[in-house]
Amino acid sequence: MDELDLTAAESKATYEEIKEYVLEHTGLKVSSLYIAQVKQKCGIIERVNYNPPKSENSRQPKCPPEKEKAIKDALEHFRMI
């Protein structure tokens, strides 16, 4: 097997690894919510959300564009997108 071949499990980074990568490379702190939003935008859906909002109208903060770009860069670095 080639050294560069990765299995699906090996190519997935944890939320903490993504947070650390973004902090080291951009100095931005990102939340798990922002990472989840960006992953969903990129079509990475891992599982059903078992902790849904209490009401349909609940407002969640949206990921700012600069943090979204930093998270996408991290996902590309970890070969998730």
User: Binning pLDDT at 50, 70 and 90, where does residue 1 land?
Assistant: very low
Q: Is the whole-model pTM more than 0.75?
A: yes
Residue ranges per structural domain of the chain: 12-44+61-81
pLDDT value of position 64: 97
pLDDT value of position 7: 54
- Number of neighbours of residue 14 by Cβ within 10 angstroms: 10
Tokens of 78: 């970890």
